[in-house]
Amino acid sequence: MKFVKNAHLPENDVDFCIAGNGIIPFEDELSKLGVNLLITSENRRISSKISNHADLSVNYCGNGVAFADNSQSELAEKLNKLGFKVNFIDETVSGDYPSDCLLNCVITEKLLICNTKCTSQSLLNFAGEHNIKIINVNQGYVKCSLCPLTDSAFITDDESIYKTLKAEKLDVLLVKKGSVRLKGFDYGFFGGCCGKISDKKIVFFGDIKNHSCYDNIKSFAKNYKIDLISLAKGDLTDIGSLIPITEKEI
């Protein structure tokens, strides 16, 4: 077992992932794929509709480093025992948008994609210290809205993110909203309904074939030789992302 080096982008088969308790209906299927889970605690300071979404309470930055809200002390203890370095941010993830999306950004070895106005200063500082390019977008719920396939290829259902990343000469597929379910809302977000479990596999919480842009998604992923794996029948569900943190050594 080793740390996922490049956040969201494992090189080998994933061993451990972080997720909220919305992952539980899909736990057996993930277990069959060799994926173990660490479940975040509920953050009662934000809306109960999204209080169990992992991508609002923790951000894994790669190489064993994570940033978390102070509601995640139990998760932090488990991660520390596995050798991770967990940093609690100075701010508090609480209330409504944008105060609930301090950690909801996408960071890789090369990029930090975020709304700088509502991103934790801890993450902005981390990017600066590690020469990671910061790309500022208008949307605060970045991880909710964005699925990284590689360091330079992304799928999003947010038009403003799409336009910004295209201007950065990145390969981006824009998909329509409305095919992802999130209880209590008209719809969920694409980035929250999926996660990579190896370099060439991405899993979906529901049936990806039910997405209105399925053909485009399949074609785009094929460009990077990535297989789409549906974990259940029925609608896609935004559970707050699947965050890969360790992978198997070859």
**Cβ partners under 8 Å of residue 137, min gap 6:** 113, 114, 115, 158, 160, 161, 164, 165
- The DSSP element (H or E) to which 121 belongs, if any, is helix 121-129
Residue 53 pLDDT greater than 90, yes or no = yes
For the question of whether the overall pTM of this predicted structure is more than 0.75, the answer is: yes
Could you give phi then psi for residue 232, rounded to 5 degrees? -160, 165
Q: How far apart are CA 3 and CA 15, in angstroms?
A: 9
At position 12, the amino acid (one-letter code) is: N
pLDDT per residue as tens digits for the range 129-145: 999 999 999 999 999 99
What span, in angstroms and rounded, lies between the C-alpha atoms of 216 and 219? Answer: 5
Distance CA 158, CA 70 (A): 29
Q: Please state the φ and ψ torsions of residue 69, each to the nearest 5 degrees.
A: -75, 155
Residues 104-162: tens digit of each pLDDT: 999 999 999 999 999 999 999 999 999 999 999 999 999 999 999 999 999 999 999 99
The SS3 of residue 226 is: coil
Answer whether 26's CB lies under 8 Å from 237's CB: no
**153 neighbors 170 (Cβ within 8 angstroms):** yes
CB 9, CB 16: distance < 8 Å: no
Residue 72 has pLDDT above 90, yes or no: yes
What whole-number percentage of the chain has pLDDT above 90? Answer: 99
pLDDT per position as a tens digit, 173-224: 999 999 999 999 999 999 999 999 999 999 999 999 999 999 999 999 999 9
Calpha distance 162→113 (Å, rounded) = 11
Q: Is the pLDDT of residue 250 over 90?
A: no
**What pLDDT is recorded for position 65?**
98
Mean pLDDT of 162-176: 98
Bridge partners (DSSP) of residue 60 are: 66
Q: Which domains are seen in the chain, by residue range? A: 2-247 (3.75.10.10)
Reduced to 3 states (helix: H, G, I; strand: E, B; else coil), residue 60 is strand
Q: How far, in Å, CA of 234 to CA of 221, rounded?
A: 21
pLDDT at 1: 84
